[in-house]
Structure 1
Amino acid sequence: MLRTEENSSPSSNASVFKDDRKQAYLNPEGADRPLTSPIPASTLDAARRYRLGRLRTKMKEWDCSALLLYDPVNIRYAFDCSNMSIWTMHNPSRYALILADGPAIMFEFEGSEHVNDGLPGIDEVRTSKSFLFFTAGNLVETRMKAWADEIADILKSHGGNRRIGVDRLEPAPAHELQSRGFTLLDGQELAERARSIKSPEEIELMRWTIRVCEAGMARMYEVSEPGRTEREIWAELHFENARSGGEWLETKLLTAGPRTNPWYQECSDYVIKRGEMISFDTDMIGPYGYCADLSRSWTCGHVVMNAKQRDLYWAAREQIEHNLSIIRPGMSFGEFNDKSWRIPEKYVPYRYTLAAHGTGMADEWPGILLHPDYDAEFAGAIEEGMVLNIESLIAEDGSESIKLETQALVTSKGAERLDTFPWEEI
């Protein structure tokens, strides 16, 4: 249970700090063991078929004969293949080409073609043609032309129009395709709109990623003792994610005490003191490539919050609960903004600019800004099957920051929370 002021004397015994509600999120087989996914292969295969089908449906809606993907998150969504995802985010050297009425081709990093074995959505694997300056040097232009020729030959051989969706392409290769008569469309918008509606199988996969994330959060909770550094606590989430089949953390947002305000400072070697607030945002890409984007705040040593911490925490909880309660399918973004929780003036200068955002294999569209920042021209509607994260960051001049966030599925009845890791009892 949470410690009280009366029994909050210093101790080196980690078990003193445990909250049984949170300890329950550790692996029941023992905290020294990774979590093992119970997801059957049939669920994963159904999710794969659905995702590729969503992309092809959007392609037809856009009158788009092909989709060229370089973003590793979009490639994972389309084919469920991953290879050096972080490296290829800044070294675009593997790509996918999906034809609306033709094959789906994966162009894989040389020597890695075998990583795609057995993936049902891929009709053909080819070795990618890279024109990175890193490896091409003065041969960039020659290699780029060979790349564009191959893409053009494939598209011409399968007919269709000359409209291609492209998610990420620098000016020079884009020009090469355009000079061959192709019109380029915004493939990132196409992909994110496709990704925004989840199938039941995707939700099952996402629930498992959240389960792993919450086990990591329980580890963080257990070691949130005086004398620990921010990095030490943050490492527990990395550890659980890595050993249980996850991918990476998108940010390093864990800070304590005075370093929580202003927000967006990255975790450091700051040594945390008893009673200081520890606030974090997981931004975790976990098993199956899905995102668990959860935020919590608690005190170091799990002592009772002081009056200021309680006030801030209650305001953050009020924002989360109110904004969850108003979500309905069919609600426009403007209506959500109009009905959303109004942040008190004293907290406005320290606000988090997002009230809600979509989540899938990463943070995604729609990103609905908090009401002081909301643009009335921002169009769209909340739809059943979306997963939305509801955010709160509450702080004032000279205070610590409270960061809370929950992840919810939009159902016919409203928002259903997917995470269950307990809030603090105050």
Structure 2
Amino acid sequence: MTKANSCTLPQAKALLADRRPIDEAAIRHGRLERLRRQLAEHDVAAALIFDPINLRYATGSRNMQVWTMHNFVRYGFVAANGPCILFDLMTSKHLAAGLETVDEIRPAWSADYVIVAERAPEIAGRWAAEIAELVRAHGGANRRLAVDRFDVPTALALQAQGLTLVDGKIMLERARARKSLEEIRALKRSFEACDAAVAEMRDGIEPGMTEQAAFGLLLKAILARGGEYPETRLLTAGPRTNPWFQEASDRPMRRGEMLSFDTDLIGPMGFYTDISRAWTVDGGKPSDAQRRLYAAARAQLDHNMALLKPGIRFLEFSARAYALPEIYHPNRYADVAHGCGLNVEYPLIWYPEDEEWGAYDGLFEENMVVCCESYVGAVGGPEGVKLEQPVWITAEGPLLLSDYPLEDGYD
């Protein structure tokens, strides 16, 4: 970490308060540079990028983000020492015109069955020949190609060209994990839009409104502020708050019930604005049972956020994390914390009890952004509380990126 990218807490607070326009070109350049450093460190000739979120990270371009997540119709080629080439739909190449990170725009092949049906092997072969030629032209004798996602015809076709395929997701996630200061400033702006959308939703909620209608208020408010789409539909009330991960339904919300939600919104500039809040539907005084749930969730967040600092290891963090009371433990959330940028990113911190499912070690580093998670609800209990806070890890510790307050008098 260079001195220019290191902030004391006062400097970090001043940075977030800076109202100058965001330099999105600088963000794009920095991202592409970080990705190329990862390619060089992993000794690959280039990266072939399909995931639209990774493609946005590498090139700054976007095109029908949700649709292209399940249709392989656009991709990018980023040479470790060479050009960044965007392959886009022939009808929409103009969308990336003028992006300084993109050296060339070409029409994209697709071997997706919906697009080419039984011609997939033929089309994939022609596509792979073009990619192999780019590797030869810009990688020399290096035939190692990093790829972040695959469908079967394209994987087989690239192997038939004699390329050695490497997991590119490793490089993309590592590049994305640490942010530039301009990225963090932009992420803060995106969270400001999310906070305002939550406030607008809250003002519009009334007893008798359905969960879906409330979620619609949130979505309308973020879209009006430059947001893009929700990754989930997690907004429930009363008995549907426990267990968690039920989606918004047509059930009317009742006065005095606990409302819990997770924004999971892709906000302005493509940033993942991820906070969770809970309150009573009518905004009234919580019951003693609701207060106990809320107090446990808030205690978990406060404890875990205080642990975040550069140099603490992932497994050490999970071992020292807040121990939920036993009554809430079976319904615990899926993770203790996760990285946050353009979506849920590396790292993901497991509960110690769940380590067998894939827990891994590593280091929290300066300028990572991490969301601390909490869900509290007893098995068979009437309600649950979901809270989540996004944290910037500065040189001197954690700094919140959301200004939307937690509830007074609930703990």
- List gaps (5 residues or longer) in structure 1: 1-36
Pairs aligned (count):
389
Deviation at 1:65, TM superposition (A): 0.8
Deviation track 1:89-120 (CA, whole Å, cap 9, x = no partner) reads 00010000000111100001121000001111
Partners of 1:326 and 1:350 lie apart in 2 by 23
Aligned to 1:32: none
Deviation at 1:80, TM superposition (A): 1.0
Whichever residue aligns with residue 378 of structure 1, its letter is Y
Aligned to 1:405: 388
Further displaced range: 303-312 or 395-404: 395-404
Partners of 1:374 and 1:330 lie apart in 2 by 21
Partners of 1:159 and 1:218 lie apart in 2 by 51
Matching of residue 201 in structure 1 with residue 190 in structure 2: no
Further displaced range: 65-74 or 216-225: 216-225
Q: 1:69 aligns with which of 49, 63, 74?
A: 49
Partners of 1:313 and 1:166 lie apart in 2 by 43
Q: Is contact 1:277–1:297 with CA below 8 Å preserved after alignment?
A: yes
Aligned to 2:8: none
Matching of residue 345 in structure 1 with residue 321 in structure 2: no
Whichever residue aligns with residue 75 of structure 1, its letter is L
- Output aligned runs, 1:157-176, within 5 Å: 157-160=137-140, 161-176=142-157
Q: 2:128 aligns with which of 148, 169, 177?
A: 148
Deviation at 1:40, TM superposition (A): 2.4
Aligned to 1:388: 370
Partners of 1:135 and 1:39 lie apart in 2 by 44
Look up the SS of the partner of 1:406 in the other structure.
strand
Matching of residue 222 in structure 1 with residue 203 in structure 2: yes
Aligned to 2:82: 102
Partners of 1:236 and 1:119 lie apart in 2 by 34
Aligned to 2:302: 321
Q: Name the TM-score, length of structure 1 as normaliser.
A: 0.89
Aligned to 2:10: none
Q: Is contact 2:304–2:322 with CA below 8 Å preserved after alignment?
A: yes
Matching of residue 331 in structure 1 with residue 312 in structure 2: yes
Whichever residue aligns with residue 179 of structure 2, its letter is K
Q: Is contact 2:390–2:401 with CA below 8 Å preserved after alignment?
A: yes
Q: Is contact 2:35–2:175 with CA below 8 Å preserved after alignment?
A: yes
Partners of 2:352 and 2:118 lie apart in 1 by 50
Look up the SS of the partner of 1:302 in the other structure.
coil
Aligned to 1:266: 247
After superposition, the CA RMSD in angstroms is 1.4
Aligned to 1:421: 404
Look up the SS of the partner of 1:78 in the other structure.
helix
Whichever residue aligns with residue 141 of structure 1, its letter is P
Partners of 2:167 and 2:109 lie apart in 1 by 22
Indicate the percent of aligned positions where both proteins have the same amino acid: 42
Aligned to 1:30: none
Partners of 1:190 and 1:378 lie apart in 2 by 17
Q: 1:379 aligns with which of 355, 361, 365?
A: 361
Deviation at 1:38, TM superposition (A): 6.3
Partners of 2:264 and 2:139 lie apart in 1 by 42
Partners of 2:385 and 2:397 lie apart in 1 by 26
Partners of 2:121 and 2:156 lie apart in 1 by 12
Aligned to 1:127: 107
Partners of 2:382 and 2:34 lie apart in 1 by 46
- Output aligned runs, 1:247-286, within 5 Å: 247-286=228-267
Deviation at 1:244, TM superposition (A): 1.6
Partners of 2:289 and 2:197 lie apart in 1 by 28
Aligned to 1:212: 193
Q: Is contact 1:407–1:417 with CA below 8 Å preserved after alignment?
A: yes
Aligned to 2:5: none
Q: Is contact 2:297–2:386 with CA below 8 Å preserved after alignment?
A: yes
Q: Is contact 1:93–1:132 with CA below 8 Å preserved after alignment?
A: yes
Partners of 2:38 and 2:56 lie apart in 1 by 17
Matching of residue 86 in structure 1 with residue 66 in structure 2: yes
Q: Is contact 2:120–2:153 with CA below 8 Å preserved after alignment?
A: no
Deviation at 1:138, TM superposition (A): 2.3
Q: Is contact 2:255–2:282 with CA below 8 Å preserved after alignment?
A: yes
Q: 2:222 aligns with which of 241, 245, 253?
A: 241
Deviation at 1:158, TM superposition (A): 2.2
Deviation track 1:276-328 (CA, whole Å, cap 9, x = no partner) reads 00000011111111001100000011010000000010000000000011111
Deviation at 1:370, TM superposition (A): 2.1
Q: 1:116 aligns with which of 92, 96, 99?
A: 96
Q: Name the TM-score, length of structure 2 as normaliser.
A: 0.92
With over 3 angstroms needed to count, the CA separation of the structure-2 counterparts of 1:377 and 1:300, relative to structure 1, is closer
Partners of 2:289 and 2:192 lie apart in 1 by 32
